[in-house]
Amino acid sequence: MNDTIVAFAAGFILDLILGDPRWLYHPVCFIGNAIAFLEKKIRKIFPKTEKGELFGGALEVLLICLFSWGIPFLILYGVRQVCLPVAFLLETFWCYQLLATKSLKTESMKVYEALKTKSLSDARYAVSMIVGRDTQELSEKGVTKAAVETIAENASDGIIAPMFYMALGGVPLMFLYKGINTMDSMLGYKNEKYLYFGRTAAKLDDVVNYIPARISGWLMALSSVFAGLDVKNAVKIYRRDRRNHASPNSAQTEAAMAGALRVQLAGNAYYFGKLYEKPTIGDDLRPVEVEDIKRANRLLYATACSGAVLFSVLWIFIYGIIL
């Protein structure tokens, strides 16, 4: 299994160089299609009652977890029996696909470019591609904050958490994590349609992100020194505001980001036309500005590189103990 850590390192480097080309089919799209397909089938079987939707949603979670972990495991196991070099290349390719460092930067920089050309409508559209909130009425400051916040939050979901599960169980466990995370993105809403059906997915996502989110918060706060940002304030705000969110995990990296940039993030936001009142994160030491998107991406890369080193060492340690 020594080749796994090499595959991870190679995959991480490929992610930094290539990102996610639109022409290349992504495995998360496959998982997403499976989630949508199963939801339709399961809703036809279970009654539209609280218990029925809870059981149906739990069944969907169980099936997607088995599917997300089992298929990559069986494919890798089978290929290893036939040709180890091909298995190594496949593992490298999947590690590359399951990390999202460059793609997150690419998508957020579309917001930056639109704001720099003073096209607020284009910036609102670009940011709507990477956030869940309503963006139609956002000001330039609101668009910038939304972009910075999603960079911070996705540093955990899209980079550090997959690395964490790779270190624990290789590529199949990375796939399992992405399956759970994708279910939360698609089913974990607190609206009439998903309040009960999506509850298991949302709770499981909270559980699997609990440790990675806290590692991500500390990594981001400490990595701000490599990004030329305020590490002292990052640690201060992280320790103070990391619980300022309804989700047990979302504020972890947002707090570190707000402190590093010396700005105030979060606060009230509209989702599906409804206002949600949320606490702020960070101190308003200076106004949020467009250049903060570039600074946030600099911190994103510093955090990702720190995470790659940390989890490579963790993998080597775990592998050494097992042997």
> At residue 303, what is the residue type?
T
Nearest alpha-carbon partner for 268 in 256, 277, 280, 281: 277
Classified as helix, coil or strand, 227 is: coil
Structural domains counted in the chain: 1
Largest distance between two CA atoms of the chain: 59
Per-residue pLDDT of the chain in tens (323 residues, 90 and over written 9): 568 889 999 999 999 999 888 788 889 999 999 999 999 999 999 999 999 999 999 999 999 999 999 999 999 999 999 999 999 999 999 999 999 999 999 999 999 999 999 889 999 999 998 887 788 888 899 999 999 999 999 999 999 999 999 988 899 999 999 999 999 989 988 888 999 999 999 999 999 999 999 999 999 999 999 999 999 999 999 999 999 888 889 899 999 999 999 999 988 777 767 777 788 999 999 999 999 999 999 999 999 999 999 998 888 877 766 55
CB 195 within 8 A of CB 242: no
> At residue 52, what is the residue type?
G
pLDDT recorded at residue 323? 55
- What token pair was written down for 21? 């080309």
The residues near 272 (Cβ < 8 Å, ≥ 6 apart) are 134, 191
Nearest alpha-carbon partner for 153 in 201, 104, 97: 104
- What token pair was written down for 94? 């999947």
| CB burial string 2-37: b at 16+ within 10 A, e below | eebbebbbbbbebbbeebbeeeeebbbeebbebbee
CB 258 within 8 A of CB 282: yes
State residue 64 phi and psi, 5-degree precision: -70, -35
Q: Give dist(CA 184, CA 202) in Å, integer.
A: 5
Residue range(s) defining the domain that contains residue 147? 2-322
pLDDT recorded at residue 136? 84
Q: Give dist(CA 161, CA 238) in Å, integer.
A: 18
pLDDT recorded at residue 272? 67
Q: Give dist(CA 279, CA 268) in Å, integer.
A: 7
